[in-house]
A and B are shown apart, each in its own frame.
Chain A
Amino acid sequence: MSTGQRQDEEALRLQFALRKERSPWADAFRQLRKNRVAVGSGIFLIFIIFTALFADYIAPYHFADAHMADNYRLPRLNIPILGHDPTSPYLLGADFLGRDILSRTIYGTRVSISVGFAGALVSLVIGIIYGLISGYSSTRVDNIMMRFVDFLYGLPILIFVILLQVYFKAVARKGATGLLGAMVSLDEKMGGMFFIFVAIGALNWLGMARLTRGQVLSYKQKEFIEAARSIGASNLRIIFRHLLPNVLGPCIVAETLAIPGYIFTEAFLSFLGLGVNAPTPSWGIMISEGYIGLRSYPHLIFTPSVALTLTVLAFNFLGDGLRDAFDPRLRGTT
């Protein structure tokens, strides 16, 4: 062996010794930063979140400000084919009640973003806890719990979402007491969003539960769990200190990819008239109000459609990037 080679080896060993140990999270984040589209989407989403937070300061008008004389007023901005009006006070036009479309779209970010995150949070919490318990329990309990999930999977879930939403809305109109009454008044304060969170989150945790359980089953056999048990760690400690951090990564990735589905569901419900309460603006409601007059006033649905599509697109790009970063083997899967 030549001296040069030995020196090389020496240098290599030193390099390994000096290399800082990186957590899988930091590793994934480094990977993610290399993905330009995902980073761009993340920045766009942060921008959308800020728009939602500061809608009161950004929007030129209040979302419920109706100027009846200006109904269907064309946009000041010249977008080809939509038609424009240089004297219009509204940058992107006004709707059938003369409400500024730009302002309503800006306020609409609140509904979509909150539904996306709240739906994700609810289903993440329920799904992970359910999956952890199921995966960690005895085979018998696990079987029963997973049978229950299979059972719910066989049901047309969206039908229940629709029925629940009609139920909540009718109860809210009629007035209720007790727990339901408290929920109704909370829902009223949130412009009708609360029940959408409940309906979406409560019925979308199934996939998360399955994913978590699968992960737990594979980690349960690993040595580090055995080691933890051998030094006398309690079940709760093993679940929350050792299993949860390992399970969390894939779950968050899967949940990011599920957020577009929640935003779609809200838009879908709003489109059918089962979404947030008027006059709270949501992109789905704006589209459903606007598409009827599509022939004469296409500008009514232009802005909310673009906003909805771009936001969902950003979530998809970010979710894809996150998944590639956490698990390069899965690159390109849905």
Chain B
Amino acid sequence: MTKYIIRRLFWSIPVLFFLTLAVFILIRAIPGGPFDFAGDKSLPPSVVKNLEAKYRLNDPVWKQFVDYLSDLILRFDLGPSFRYKSRTVNDIIAQTLPISAQLGLVALALALLIGIPAGIIAALRQNTMVDYTATFIAIIGVSIPAIVMGPFLIWIFALPHDIGGWHYEPIFPVSRWGAKPPFFLGFLPVPDLEFWKYAILPAFTLGTGLSASIARLTRASLLQVIREDYIRTARAKGLSERAVIVRHALKNSMIPVVTILGPMFAAVLTGTFVVEQIFAIPGLGKHFVTSIGNRDYPVVLGTSLLYGVAIVIANLAVDIVYAWLDPRIRYD
């Protein structure tokens, strides 16, 4: 197993290298430079020249790339931000990553906590009203994109309404996230009522689609597992239904669910781009999108690389859990 993990980590090096190289070239190939505009005015050419010299943008591209890589590997330095003159990319990531990680983790947790139980209940009550309702809600859940879900939730829960003479005050405020983030171990959310009040809507927006697809997958997979011979054996030897499901069926039915957690993790990462936009959360996703528009090369590179690393780690974690769930899988 250790050998497998080490081999996988080595295999991820070319992936990350290619990612860096491709983003490096692509972002420089985009017409328009980082110093074309300062606010609304364009800078005088002499100033642009000096700035480009300062950030070594006049060097040949291969040299810039080698410099970037050596800074990154030797000093863990992702370079300065071209836009925010006083901040480095490391600063920006340190400030915004915890907020995005918090959002992503809460959404993922929500997705699993709703999705798995819903799928199990639907499977155990197959072809009953409960099953039909759950399946129907799940398919609607997969079909509502975040850009519809977000504004809809804001409209219902975060805006005051007057309906039929009744006045409703908003329950969950928006756009307060990140103002005073209560962090636990740097990024984990703390059980603080104030935090959940503004975290619940964005997390739900990001998590609904995921929880719906997890529910669908859990249901299907559990239904398949229940028909296996070893479940019949477990029932035949007189185990209680609860023991059969919890101890024998559930673990195996989780295998397909775990496989989609990898792509799902990637979906959470990119989902933060729009969810942070909608809810005005100052996280990494929002920064990534604005930095492309600003041609802030180091920020784009740094964040892309970070996403790449996160996906590599997530996929590795998925494979390890996979091996634990299914002892037939051997990695050596």
From known contacts A163-B23, A287-B148, A288-B147, infer whether A156 and B14 are also in contact, taking CB-CB under 8 Å. no
Q: Is the Cβ of B213 less than 8 Å from the Cβ of A334?
A: yes
Q: Is the Cβ of A287 less than 8 Å from the Cβ of B15?
A: no
> Closest residue of chain B to A307, judged by CB?
B148
> How many residues of chain A have a CB within 8 Å of chain B?
46
Q: When each residue 167-181 of chain B gets 1 if its CB lies under 8 Å from chain A and 0 otherwise, what string results?
A: 000000000000000
* Chain A residues whose C-beta falls within 8 Å of the C-beta of B221 in the assembled complex: 333
* Chain B residues whose C-beta falls within 8 Å of the C-beta of A295 in the assembled complex: 159
* Chain B residues whose C-beta falls within 8 Å of the C-beta of A334 in the assembled complex: 142, 213, 216-217, 220, 260
A170 at the interface (CB under 8 A from B): yes
Q: Is the Cβ of B30 less than 8 Å from the Cβ of A291?
A: no
B96 at the interface (CB under 8 A from A): no
Stretch at the interface among B75-83, B98-106, B272-280: B272-280
Interface of B is mostly: helix
Q: Is the Cβ of B139 less than 8 Å from the Cβ of A163?
A: no
A313 at the interface (CB under 8 A from B): yes
A238 at the interface (CB under 8 A from B): no
Q: Is the Cβ of A333 less than 8 Å from the Cβ of B23?
A: no
Q: Is the Cβ of B30 less than 8 Å from the Cβ of A170?
A: yes
Identify which of B147, B150, B278 gathers the most chain A CB atoms within 10 Å of its CB: B147
> How many residues of chain B have a CB within 8 Å of chain A?
58
Chain A residues with CB under 8 Å of chain B are 81, 151, 154-160, 162-164, 166-167, 170-171, 173-174, 260, 264, 267-268, 271-272, 284, 287-288, 290-291, 294-295, 298, 301, 305, 308-309, 312-313, 316-317, 320, 330-334
A selection of 22 A-B contacts at a CB cut-off of 8 Å is: A81-B163, A151-B18, A154-B15, A155-B311, A159-B270, A159-B304, A164-B26, A174-B31, A260-B142, A264-B145, A267-B147, A268-B145, A291-B147, A295-B159, A301-B151, A309-B143, A309-B145, A313-B139, A332-B223, A333-B256, A334-B142, A334-B216
Chain B residues with CB under 8 Å of chain A are 12, 14-15, 18-19, 22-23, 26-27, 29-32, 135, 139-140, 142-148, 150-152, 154-155, 159, 161, 163, 213, 216-217, 219-221, 223, 256, 260, 266, 269-270, 273-274, 277-278, 288-289, 292-293, 300, 304, 307-308, 311-312, 315
Given contacts A151-B18, A160-B22, A332-B216, 20 further A-B contacts (CB under 8 A): A154-B15, A154-B312, A155-B308, A156-B311, A159-B288, A160-B26, A162-B289, A167-B29, A267-B145, A272-B277, A287-B148, A294-B155, A298-B155, A301-B148, A305-B148, A308-B148, A316-B139, A316-B143, A333-B220, A333-B256
